[in-house]
Chains A and B, each alone.
Chain A
Amino acid sequence: MSSLLAAASFDVPTIEYGQLSPMLIIFGVAVLSLLVEAFAPRGSRRPIQLVLVFAGLAAAFAAVVMIRGTQHIAAMGSVAVDGPALFMQGAILVLAFIAALVMAERQVDPLGDAFAPRASALPGSTDEIAFTRLGWLQTEVWPLFLFSVGGMLLFPASADLLTMFVALEVVSLPLYIMAGLARRRRLLSQEAALKYFVLGAFSSAFFLYGTALFYGYAGSVDLSAISDALTANAGSMWLVITATGLVSVGLLFKIGAVPFHQWTPDVYQGSPTPVTGFMAACTKIAAFGALLRIMYVALGGIRWDWRPMMYVIAALTMIVGTLFALTQTDMKRMLAYSSIAQAGFMLVGVIATNQAGLSGTMVYLVAYGIATIGAFAIVTLVRDSTGEASHLSQWAGLGRKAPIVASAFALFLLAFAGIPLTSGFTGKFAVFTAGIAGGATPVVIIGLVASAVAAFFYVRVIVLMFFNEPTSDDGVSVVVPSGFTTLAITISVALTLVIGLVPQLILDLANQAGLFIR
């Protein structure tokens, strides 16, 4: 009992509110947005939410710009505020802004926005028809969206595995729900949500198990402490390797790397298309940020042990993603497999384990993210009477029906393919040169071959759009969107071209970001 009296004193922890401000702003706005859902009358919810979301994202971005150059581990060792973290936070905020523009669209679907009027109504029930007729909107997507973005800001900046795990869950939970909210094809959407949730929860468990084993090895979940323990060669390598594998499974799942990619096509296809764009672009950045941080900061010392594993996964991801994309007949599924293949290319940058690999991956992530959101935004515009016309054959002759939209889509596809003068080339070039410098030449060669094959199916779609006759009266048309989607596509096109034509801008930015702090 005497030990109770001699209780240790408790010092008030130091919290660097300024350095944490980007995510604090987003979480604060998210709670505000929830209160709007609670107290604002139904009609005024949407405008208030839109103001909150865009103002919040802009304010958080401004905060990131204000604290640029910070090199500090904040919040008692929980959050590493360093160059790469800030770069990725900025990129996530910009991409989330574009994605939010697409999500805010209400004009392309005659029934309302992209989300089910009430997700709880049974698909096809009289309730659902009544809600649709009343024109109600599920504005709850906005707080969910903001919480997810908040988690994404924390995820790549987490300096210990426990914070990283909480961030992983904050990123994922809202996404699971948002995946099930599509207005059209409700059953497909609900299936997507369920698959994403079950597999996501499964992979989170792997991450947690790995975290526990890391604690068993190093006596701490801090990334720097794990690194120190490795340097001191403290315990059994078996334990570290197993822990590395388990933690990697959790992150590779979020990235969509083979063999943890099975959810990707179903979820990308079933989710509301604006959410798919957001998920594909922003989740990838956050998850790659976390993977890079763990691999570079904590496990840099044993890179010779995990690199063979990553070699295999990167090669498999590129090969499987590319080959399966070739056989798809649905546009969203094709883009899903293409995103798997892209994840493989990005993994080359992770394998490189050098400064160029880090900055190259970041550049690639931004380039890919912008093109992805743009591409999915265009998918929302090609419609027939039942909703989005996502079958490839329905895209035939689109270049004659809507030359501008088709050209923009062609640009994004060329960027995916990594054709020079587009953003994709900048990204691929940065990653592959880093890979060669890092001694990963065989993987780079596989990557180059896979890129060539991938270019084939991207170009095939372009040929389909521009050189095929449109199928007569199939009812497919390109809808004229409101300013929201137009602005989103315009920004995406502009950024894709800028990064392609003046790559030095973003390369310098990524290089200035420097390395992770320890």
Chain B
Amino acid sequence: MSVLLATIEQSGSTGEQIVFWVCAAIAVVGAVGMLISRRAVHSALFIAATMIALAVLYVSQGAPFLGMAQIVVYTGAVMMLFLFVLMLVGVDSTESLVETLKGQRIAGLALALGFAVLLFAAIGNVSYNFAVGIDGANAADGGNVQGIAHLIFDRYLLAFEVTSALLITAALGAMVLAHRERHTPRKSQREQSEDRVRSGEPQNLPGPGVYALHNAVGTPGLLPDGQPTDRSVPEPLRGVSAAVGVDHEDTRRVNALAAGGAIIPGKAEDES
């Protein structure tokens, strides 16, 4: 830490210091928040905050390529995939904190601690004798991104081209593991309309009851006899009809209105 402080003091500029301290605080808060939040979605959003803060730091340290990759790839793509996967698993599902292997947590903590000590010892001893600094490195090829370009398209050309194999494998694997191929031919529009006529009910389904009392399409429409009908509710919402529910109080009011009764107090007055 003292090394870090010293570095900051050397760097001098107040603007840079402000950026550093603001972003560092966000990054650390995000990292801690990720660890302690119980809901996976909150954790994911915390990581996103940390990553954006890190990206700002990279850019302000003279590494725009890294900052950009951090935003586009990690915050943009990888975090989005995290969120998708959370949605697939179920956004409300919380982590089970039951220990299935006995003593695993303690063993894990001990190993993590040992690993941390080892890494601190190692990284604390990094030698800088070949380092030229980011400005020196950037100057060599006329800019940070240019320097990266030279490395990718020259020295590491093969690794770069072979990376395409990785991308192919990823897409192919996603298709193999997740794509449901059709094994029956898709119905043409003509077949669909024929099926509809044959079903004995070719007309439109009754519209939803969205007009007077609710603005939600999940509200069932009323049949001429005043009974609510589930068939007016879009099919995906029917499964949760218990939650959508029919407000019988509303129904009574509407029936009273239809019967020519007076406006019942409590009903929306200024609805034109």
List A residues at the B interface (Cβ < 8 Å): 3-8, 10-11, 13, 15, 20, 27, 30-31, 34, 75-79, 118-121, 127, 130-131, 134, 136, 138, 140, 143-144, 147, 150-151, 154, 162-163, 166-167, 169-170, 173-174, 176-177, 180-181, 213, 216-219, 234-236, 238-239, 241-243, 245
CB < 8 Å neighbour of B122 from A3, A79, A119, A242: A242
Comparing B75-83, B151-159, B241-249, the segment that makes contact with chain A is B151-159
11 A-B residue pairs with CB within 8 Å: A3-B139, A13-B154, A27-B162, A27-B165, A78-B157, A121-B180, A144-B176, A163-B158, A174-B169, A176-B173, A235-B126
In the docked arrangement, what's the CA distance between A151 and B162, Å? 8
The interface bits of chain B over 164-201 (1 if a CB of A lies within 8 angstroms of the residue's CB, else 0) are 01101110110111111101000000000000000000
Contacts of A242 in B (CB 8 A): 118-119, 121-122
Q: Given known contacts A78-B157, A219-B131, what 5 new A-B pairs fall within 8 Å (CB)? A: A8-B140, A15-B157, A78-B155, A120-B176, A177-B173
Task: Judge whether B178 and A238 touch: CB under 8 Å.
Answer: no
* Distance between A431 CB and nearest chain B CB, rounded to angstroms: 31
- For the complex of A and B, the 5 pairs showing the least CB-CB separation, nearest first, are A235-B127, A7-B142, A236-B125, A242-B122, A219-B130
* Distance between B147 CB and nearest chain A CB, rounded to angstroms: 9
Closest residue on chain A to residue B157 by CB atoms: A13
* Distance between A52 CB and nearest chain B CB, rounded to angstroms: 15
List B residues at the A interface (Cβ < 8 Å): 118-119, 121-123, 125-127, 129-131, 139-143, 146, 150, 153-159, 162-163, 165-166, 168-170, 172-173, 175-181, 183
In the docked arrangement, what's the CA distance between A218 and B143, Å? 23
Contacts of A76 in B (CB 8 A): 154-158
Task: Judge whether B154 and A131 touch: CB under 8 Å.
Answer: no
Task: Judge whether A177 and B122 touch: CB under 8 Å.
Answer: no
* Distance between A147 CB and nearest chain B CB, rounded to angstroms: 5
Task: Judge whether B176 and A119 touch: CB under 8 Å.
Answer: yes
Closest residue on chain B to residue A150 by CB atoms: B165
CB < 8 Å neighbour of B141 from A7, A130, A151, A181: A7
Task: Judge whether B180 and A238 touch: CB under 8 Å.
Answer: no
Contacts of B166 in A (CB 8 A): 166, 169-170, 173
In the docked arrangement, what's the CA distance between A218 and B156, Å? 18
CB < 8 Å neighbour of B125 from A15, A75, A239: A239
CB < 8 Å neighbour of B162 from A13, A167, A236: A167
Number of A-B contacts (CB under 8 A): 150
Contacts of A213 in B (CB 8 A): 122-123
* Distance between B78 CB and nearest chain A CB, rounded to angstroms: 13
In the docked arrangement, what's the CA distance between A406 and B271, Å? 87
In the docked arrangement, what's the CA distance between A127 and B125, Å? 58
* Distance between A107 CB and nearest chain B CB, rounded to angstroms: 24
Contacts of B169 in A (CB 8 A): 144, 147, 170, 173-174, 177
Task: Judge whether A75 and B177 touch: CB under 8 Å.
Answer: no
Task: Judge whether A15 and B142 touch: CB under 8 Å.
Answer: no
CB < 8 Å neighbour of B177 from A10, A30, A180, A234: A180
* Distance between B62 CB and nearest chain A CB, rounded to angstroms: 13
In the docked arrangement, what's the CA distance between A30 and B168, Å? 10
Contacts of B162 in A (CB 8 A): 27, 150-151, 154, 163, 166-167, 170
In the docked arrangement, what's the CA distance between A47 and B21, Å? 63
Contacts of B121 in A (CB 8 A): 238, 242
Contacts of B141 in A (CB 8 A): 7-8
Contacts of B123 in A (CB 8 A): 213, 216, 239
Contacts of A174 in B (CB 8 A): 169, 173
Contacts of A218 in B (CB 8 A): 130
* Distance between A516 CB and nearest chain B CB, rounded to angstroms: 18
In the docked arrangement, what's the CA distance between A235 and B122, Å? 11
Task: Judge whether A173 and B155 touch: CB under 8 Å.
Answer: no
Contacts of B139 in A (CB 8 A): 3
Task: Judge whether B183 and A136 touch: CB under 8 Å.
Answer: yes
* Distance between A233 CB and nearest chain B CB, rounded to angstroms: 11
